[in-house]
Amino acid sequence: MLKKTRDEILRLLEEKYKDTKTALKYSSPFELLIAVILSAQCTDERVNIITQRLFPKYNTPAKMLKLTQDEMEDAIRDCGLFRAKEKNILGACRMIEDDFKGQVPDSIEALMKLPGVGRKTANVVASIIYDIPAIAVDTHVFRVSHRLGLASGQDQETTEEELEKIIPREKWGAAHHWLIWHGRNICKARNALCGECMLRDLCPEWREAGKKFKAPNR
């Protein structure tokens, strides 16, 4: 892809989504961490329903550790992979209490030591809470960046590296939200709303589809 085209795609994304933020509801670094862990294979809307009933009573690692395994599972049962998430959340709470004096770690490397926290989750928390430049590659970011020709890597880590090379460092955190919201609103996994997309004429997939279905000359 030509640099001119790529830069125009990024400019239009920023123009459209420059004020967007995470849809997850939280009031502290710890609450965001738990919400992001819960969001794996679960919609933000569902996570917000779960945390709305969880956080009023259990909004610190120490308070959450008062829950038994069964109580924790019951609290998040309507979230995908709830058994694995229960173990990871309570494990993360224990590590935060024992190793980080009850505070959510403030570096990507330290965050990734917590159970259930991979690079994507660490990047989200680090960029939103601590303003550390990072691009979190979730399913939306992966799909949209590939469809638009901004990345071609076969996994999240490679895609992250590719995006970091073409997006200014100071905009990494914001660009994560541009791509997520474009994926949710327009460039959906199924039935993408290409007819409503401001990037349609710049999109490699749209151009390729146009060639495929173009009527033959008569």
Active site residues: 120, 138
Give CA–CA dist 59/36, Å, rounded: 14
DSSP state of 187: S
Chain centroid offset of residue 14 CA = 17
Indicate the length of the chain as a whole number: 218
Q: Write out the DSSP string of 48-90.
A: HHHHHHHTTT--SHHHHTTS-HHHHHHHTTTSTTHHHHHHHHH
Beta-carbon contacts of residue 23 (< 8 Å; ≥ 6 apart): 44, 45, 48
Name the token pair of 25.
């509801």
Q: How far is CA 146 from CA 17, 79, 138, 175, 198, in A?
A: 18, 28, 12, 14, 17
- Return the structure tokens found at 152: 């071609």
3-state secondary structure of 28: coil
Element (H, E) at 38: helix 29-38
- Which amino acid is it at 26? Y
